[in-house]
Structure 1
Amino acid sequence: MKKQMSGITLASIYIGTVIGAGFASGQEIIQFFVRYGKLSILGIFVATILFCILGVKLLQIVYSKKINRLEDFLYLYFKRKTIIFINIWLIGLLFVTFFIMLAGSGAIFKEYFQIDQLYGIIFMAFICFIVLITGVNGIAKANILLIPFLIIIICYIGIYVVYNNTFIFSQLAPDNIFKISEFSLDLNSLIWLGSAILYVAFNSISVIVVFSSLRSLIVEKKCAVYGGVLGGVGLGLMALLINLSLLILYNDIVGLEVPMIAIASTVGYVSKRLYSVVLLVAMFTTAIANGYGCVLRISNLLKINEKITSLLVCCISVPMAALGFKRLVTFFYPIFGYIGVLFLAALIIKGKKMN
């Protein structure tokens, strides 16, 4: 039972780290997958495999190399001077991801709960601060409690939409959906494959930061495999269902800031409200994961108390988040995706040299 709980805990944290506002809202899925039409299904299949490999490999390294913090992981691959540069870059990445989650929560509060966007952002920042000061144990407990609810609702909405629109989905043929200008469906192109790799690469950075502090939760090496595969498959399943829902109802949601809420509303009023909560949960779990990583990096680099750093990060993020969720996702995510590819390439090259 202890081994099973270890795997489930690791998978929950894995999913919670990745499935943030962009994922659950549908914006990330549109940006990296839906735009390629039916080929997006292949892209998600590839991304799922890569997520499984990434999760297993990272957790195994953390366990076997006895890694307790990110610096321990980086020292395996890079020199001290390089690590200083990487730390500065990671602070930027984690901080941006954190305030994008806050921006998403503001959009949800404004559009679906009729609460001013700024108040929504401030509320989410405050809740994140409370969890951040509790450390990795608080983050683990939050994910174990919230992720099952998130998975159940996303799967229910996705399955409902696909099941009740099987005819529409069957009509997604060259004479229909391929004509939509937003979709790039050149079968001779492998852009969809590159986009899938880019998506995993972007998310991998946050995963590395979070996983490097989870050694105490890995009971044995098999738990690393279980947690990595379960987390990767869970992410792939939810991405697939969201992707199919967006493909089927694309004409109804194009241009919306939070498209999955519109899709949930087709199921019913209760589903719409539930999915609004799902989005807030997704934003919260990813925000605390990235926020905690950012706090650790700043605290370690500048030798500042973690609680004070948590307060500073949350306060500074509020005005940044006010810039708007969709604008931030569109601008920052592809950029960090490309940088993530370079970072992973460096890890692979260094790893081969070490072997």
Structure 2
Amino acid sequence: MIRSGLKWMFLIIGTTIGAGYASGRELWEFFGHESGLAILLFVIFFSVSCLVIMKVSYRRQSTEYRPVLREVVGKRLTRFYDFMIFIYLYTTTIVMLSGSGATGQAFGLPYWWGIIFIVLMLILLFLKDIRGVLSINEILIPVLLIGLLYVLLQFTIDEGLALFSHWHEQRNWMAAFPFTALNILPLVAVLGAVGNKVKSLGEIWIASIGSGVILGVISYIYNNSLIQIADELLLYEIPLFAILKNYSFGMLTFMSLLLWFAIFTTAAAGILGIVTRIKSIVHYPLWVIVSVILISMIPLTFIGFSSLISITYPLYGILNLYVLTRLLLFPLWLKKT
């Protein structure tokens, strides 16, 4: 049970920790000063959301996200959110592919090399069906978490930072709602695809509480580190590099590799949500569907997506808040199960 619970926990974390989170940009956009309570609330909201989604998918024994979506948002809105989830996963995966191209450039490689590399790796990953995604998460996510935690704790020690010196005022507590909501749709899509593989309620509790606590601890330490260098963050597109500026080139290279891991696991989770939905319509092997989808995405990675993101992300934030509200008000449903 513990092994399976950890497997689902790593899947949840792999879905959540994308390049935006791992780079620190996403955390700084939502949190910053006076956000300790916001991060604590995020842990609670996130854990409850995962718990509800996994319990619904387990009870439904779902192989794709629509049965879960139907129970969470109701029949009337299912078709609308089904479309929104598909577009969200598609555009997010394109951004991840673009991120891989940018990471390749950081290592002196052509932009398209990074894109082709991640596309090939994703196709190979799905040759083993869903098992490939679960297996790679069990390997990469612990490495990513340990590496990120090591750098943040090392920075905290080197700079002599106090972890609990910013609790006198907590005016930013409302940030917990949009930050949690931002990650809800992909979780519905990914966890809805594995309901038939969950064997017990114990696995669900381990995965839900474990992922919330781990993300909460890392978010708190990360945010605390960023507060100390707030004045310098305007000079860095990737806040993590502001933390690493006085460290060795080897450490910078290692963390760049970890950022790519975050990109890869998020892209894999996005593709998982897409292909399990399509497979309910077209009955081809997953790797074939994955290949077609990724090939359709490649031309779009060469277009600037900043305008697309600036329009779609606020919209998703509003839509996700409704889903989050539905999930947090599900204790009534939990009593029935």
Give the shorter-chain TM-score range: 0.7 to 0.9
- The superposition leaves residues 261-296 of structure 1 with CA deviations (integer Å, 9 ceiling, x where unpaired) of 342342322221111111011111111001111222
Question: What letter is aligned with 2:53?
Answer: L
Residues 68-111 of structure 1, C-alpha deviation per residue, up to 9 Å, x if partnerless?
A: 33222234356666433322211101111111212222222212
Aligned to 1:97: 92
Relative to structure 1, the CA distance from residue 321 to residue 45 in structure 2 (aligned partners, 3 Å threshold; closer, same or farther) is farther
1:86 is aligned, of 76, 81, 84, to 81
**In structure 1, what is the equivalent of residue 131 of structure 2?**
137
Question: Which of the residues 107, 119, 123 maps onto 1:125?
Answer: 119
- Counterpart pick for 1:22 among 7, 15, 20: 20
Correspondence 1:208 to 2:188: yes
User: In the TM superposition, what are the counterparts of 1:111-190 in structure 2 within 5 Å?
Assistant: 111=106, 113-166=107-160
CA distance in 2 between counterparts of 1:353 and 1:215 reads: 17
Decide whether aligned partners of structure 1 residues 261 and 129 sit closer, same or farther in structure 2, where only a CA change above 3 A counts: farther
Question: After the TM superposition, which of the residue ranges 159-168 and 87-96 deviates more from structure 2?
Answer: 159-168
Change (3 A) 1:241 1:167: closer
| 8 Å CA contact retained: 1:209, 1:293 | yes
Deviates more, 1:76-85 or 1:100-109: 76-85
Q: Which residue of 2 aligns with 1:177?
A: none
* Closer, same or farther: CA 253–347 of 1 in aligned 2, 3 Å: closer
1:7 aligns with 2:5: yes
Residue 107 (str. 1) matches residue 87 (str. 2): no
C-alpha root-mean-square deviation of aligned residues, in Å? Answer: 3.0
CA distance 1:276–1:331, change in 2 (3 Å): farther
Q: 2:277 aligns with which of 277, 280, 297?
A: 297
CA change 1:166–1:58 in 2 (3 A) is: same
Using the size of structure 1 for normalisation, the TM-score is 0.83
AA aligned opposite 1:198: P
Matched, 1:282 2:262: yes
- Greater CA deviation, 137-146 or 256-265? 256-265
Partner of 1:43: 38
Residue 243 of structure 2 corresponds to 263
> Relative to 1, partners in 2 of residues 1:74 and 1:288: Cα closer, same or farther, differing over 3 Å?
same
Q: Distance in 2 between matches of 1:231 and 1:25?
A: 19
- Alpha-carbon separation, structure 1, partners of 2:288 and 2:25: 33
Alpha-carbon distance between aligned partners in 2 of 1:327 and 1:243, rounded to the nearest angstrom? 27
Distance 1:72 1:171 in 2: 45
Deviates more, 1:129-138 or 1:323-332: 323-332
User: Which 10-residue stretch deviates more, 235-244 or 68-77?
Assistant: 68-77
Contact in 2 for aligned 1:133/1:310 (Cα 8 Å): no
Check the 8 A contact 1:100/1:325 in 2, yes or no.
yes
Distance 1:335 1:166, change over 3 A: farther
Gaps of 5+ in 2: none
Query: Aligned equivalents of 1:154 and 1:136: distance in 2?
Result: 26
Counterpart CA distance in 2 for 1:236 and 1:78 is 26
| Equivalenced residues, count | 334
* Residue-by-residue CA offset, 1:58-77 (whole Å, 9 max, x unaligned): 22232234333322223435
SS at match of 1:266: coil
Aligned residue number for residue 250 of structure 1 = 230
Question: Is 1:32 paired with 2:14?
Answer: no
Percent of aligned positions that are identical: 24
The match for 1:179 is none
- Of residues 54, 69, 77 in structure 2, which corresponds to 1:74? 69
Paired letter, 2:51: V
Task: Give 2:315's match in structure 1, choosing from 335, 349, 352.
Answer: 335
Structure 1: 5+ residue stretches without partners = 175-186
* Contact residue 135 and residue 292 of structure 1 kept, 8 A: no
Distance 1:353 1:47, change over 3 A: closer
* AA in 2 matched with 1:146: L
SS of corresponding position for 2:10: helix
Secondary structure of 1:234 counterpart = helix
2:219 alignment counterpart: 239
1:320 aligned onto 2:300: yes
- Alpha-carbon shift at residue 243 of structure 1 (Å): 1.4
Bigger shift: 70-79 or 215-224? 70-79
Q: CA 1:208–1:173 in 2, change beyond 3 Å: closer, same or farther? A: closer
TM-score by length of 2: 0.87
